[in-house]
Chain A
Amino acid sequence: MKRLWIAAALFSAMALSGSAQSLSDLNIELHGYATQGFLYTTENNIFSTNSSSGSPAWDEAVLNMTATPTPKLRVGMQARYFLLGNYGNKISLDWAAADYSFNDHVGVRFGKVKTPIGLLNEIQDLDPTYIWSLLPQSVYPLTSRNSTLTHYGGVVYGSFSLGQKKGDLDYRVFGGEQMVTADDPSITEGEEDSGIILPNGWGGTMLGATLKWKTPLQGLMFGATDVDFPAVWSSLAVYQGSNGTQSTPPSQSQWYFARYEKNKIMVAGEYSRQQYQGATQFPDAPDGDSTFRSDPRGWYAMASYKFTPKFALGAYVSQFVDWQLDYGPPRYSKDWTFSARYDFNQFLYAKAEQHFIEGTNIGYDDATNPNGLQPNTKLTILKIGVSF
């Protein structure tokens, strides 16, 4: 099914670009970026790295190819290499899609596409596009971002003017299949906790919509996203060598966000809630039977200021709580962050960031923290990147 979406996108692009006579007519472009990060934590090891000793195990490289065979048609694909501690260390397909824009009011994009959730989901894995070394983990957790970044399906998008004194309304309606592979950190972290393996990964049908109201006050925008998971998600599960199933019933998630951005100033905030529950069943290993409920709620408030075209400072406060867990550090994560970014030129940049983290819900795994977790950790990040 996944390959069918990508094949449909590429076939449609070929059919609609029939007038192109040569490669130059296709207006092919290459873009990309690469980053090298360094993490140091005062207590716990974070993101499966040995950060308490200082770790350079955070690399990303992206290569993008885009063609515009006709003014309204765009086809592209993007590959990524990702390494974070013990995660990744492989090349994967970020997205591959065909995009046809009828006009400013209606366009359609399909294939493996970025999922337009919340304020930052579509760019959360694009380090060159924002000041932060690490986005607020309360809403954009790094090790589980693959579970929301893309889906196989489509997006219908567009914008309408509400009148000169009422601003503009942008909309995105999307649907398809969301999938993460068995080796994704969002899966392996759960396996550590429960001992249950999902050899085929995890995913299922999703439908959603995002609305953004760009107010008459230039730079001020309010938005909301609702995502429905209308069908039962079910996957093969393995517990102590016995096969079974993990399933989750229909559920919903919401994001609410706002941003003011003008000239040198940016202020933004976001709140998300992603409730779900599920069960695992093992006919031959009843010890593995379990039910689980999760009610994670996260929010952040951020601000940044560009002192010069090349230098910016920013800060954010971020909080995450899983209301289904017992009280204590594993239930929450709070983070005060201070960031700096310097652009040497349009290609080369550097970032520095300091986090003051309370709670242990996000970012920690058992393998690199065999002696348990301290409730608080300070995290320092240095990063250098090139983009073109």
Chain B
Amino acid sequence: MKYRSRILILVAALLLFGSVARAQVIVIVNPGVSADSVSKAALEKIFTGTSTRLGSGERVVPVLLKEGPVHSAFLSTYLGKSPIALIINWRSLVLSGQGSMPKSFDSEAEMVSYVARTPTAIGYIGEKTAHDSVKVLEVK
């Protein structure tokens, strides 16, 4: 009974963590982008290299964090991939001549700075990270 209770608590914690993780990650773009939202499907295509367009038709170029809980949360929530799986995905494109590796950043602050000055950049950060210089896209 004790064991079963622990399992239930663990499952509840994981579910709670998943929902908390999703709420904590936001998608950011350069303020020059006119779109206000992006679909989950479009986001998945952009960050796996199969599309370069938002639903509005605007061209975007993805940038990544190198590691960290925000990086992992974004990948699992919107791409269904682990960090290693995402790197393998992009390397398959690069090594077969079908793409180039996205820029990646050590910190969310660096990502915000890059997205703010790069017209086509799209990235992601934790919602508590300062982001006055960029625009937040709603993920539908």
Residues in B neighbouring A74, C-beta threshold 8 A = 99-100
Interface status of A287 (Cβ within 8 A of chain B): no
On whether the beta carbons of B84 and A31 are closer than 8 Å, the reply is no
- Contacts A123-B92, A309-B82, A346-B83 given: A99-B97 contact, CB under 8 Å? yes
CB distance from A295 to the nearest CB of B (A): 30
- Contacts A66-B100, A309-B82, A309-B85 given: A103-B91 contact, CB under 8 Å? no
- Pick the residue among B53, B92, B94, B96 that contacts A104 (CB under 8 A): B53
On whether the beta carbons of A262 and B80 are closer than 8 Å, the reply is yes
On whether the beta carbons of B97 and A78 are closer than 8 Å, the reply is yes
CB distance from A66 to the nearest CB of B (A): 5
Residues in B neighbouring A21, C-beta threshold 8 A = none
Q: How many residues of B contact A (CB 8 A)?
A: 25
- Pick the residue among A113, A129, A159, A306 that contacts B95 (CB under 8 A): A129
- Contacts A71-B61, A109-B97, A113-B97 given: A104-B51 contact, CB under 8 Å? yes
CB distance from A135 to the nearest CB of B (A): 13
Q: How many residues of A contact B (CB 8 A)?
A: 38
Complex interface bits, A90-122 against B, C-beta within 8 A gives 1, otherwise 0: 000001010101011000010001100000001
On whether the beta carbons of A27 and B95 are closer than 8 Å, the reply is no
Which chain B residue shows the least CB distance to A150? B97
The A228-244 residues at the B interface (CB cut-off 8 A) are none
Interface status of A310 (Cβ within 8 A of chain B): yes
The B11-60 residues at the A interface (CB cut-off 8 A) are 41, 50-53, 59
Interface status of B10 (Cβ within 8 A of chain A): no
Interface status of B88 (Cβ within 8 A of chain A): yes
Interface secondary structure of A, over-half rule: strand
The B77-111 residues at the A interface (CB cut-off 8 A) are 80, 82-85, 87-88, 91-92, 94-101
Interface status of A154 (Cβ within 8 A of chain B): no
Interface status of A128 (Cβ within 8 A of chain B): yes
A370 to B80, CA, bound (A): 51
A62 to B97, CA, bound (A): 13
On whether the beta carbons of B92 and A76 are closer than 8 Å, the reply is no
A122 to B80, CA, bound (A): 23
Number of cross-chain contacts by CB at 8 Å: 78
Which chain A residue shows the least CB distance to B41? A218
Residues in B neighbouring A109, C-beta threshold 8 A = 97-98
Residues in B neighbouring A78, C-beta threshold 8 A = 95, 97
CB distance from B120 to the nearest CB of A (A): 7
The A153-197 residues at the B interface (CB cut-off 8 A) are 159
A306 to B59, CA, bound (A): 33
A301 to B104, CA, bound (A): 36
On whether the beta carbons of B101 and A29 are closer than 8 Å, the reply is yes
A309 to B79, CA, bound (A): 14
Interface status of A64 (Cβ within 8 A of chain B): yes
Taking each of B61, B85, B95, B98, which has the highest tally of chain A beta carbons within 10 Å of its own beta carbon? B95
**Which 7 A-B residue pairs are closest in the complex by CB-CB distance?**
A309-B82, A129-B92, A122-B96, A346-B87, A263-B80, A126-B95, A343-B84
Other contacts beyond A31-B95, A101-B52, A114-B98: 16, CB < 8 A = A31-B94, A31-B101, A68-B100, A71-B61, A74-B100, A95-B97, A104-B51, A114-B96, A122-B98, A126-B92, A129-B88, A262-B80, A263-B80, A309-B84, A343-B84, A346-B84
Tell me the B residues contacting A by CB distance below 8 Å: 41, 50-53, 59, 61, 80, 82-85, 87-88, 91-92, 94-101, 120
Pairs A–B under 8 Å by Cβ, sample size 30? A27-B100, A31-B91, A31-B101, A33-B91, A33-B95, A64-B94, A66-B100, A66-B101, A71-B59, A71-B120, A74-B100, A78-B95, A78-B97, A101-B52, A103-B52, A104-B53, A109-B97, A113-B97, A114-B98, A122-B98, A123-B96, A128-B88, A128-B95, A129-B88, A159-B51, A306-B85, A309-B83, A309-B84, A310-B84, A343-B84
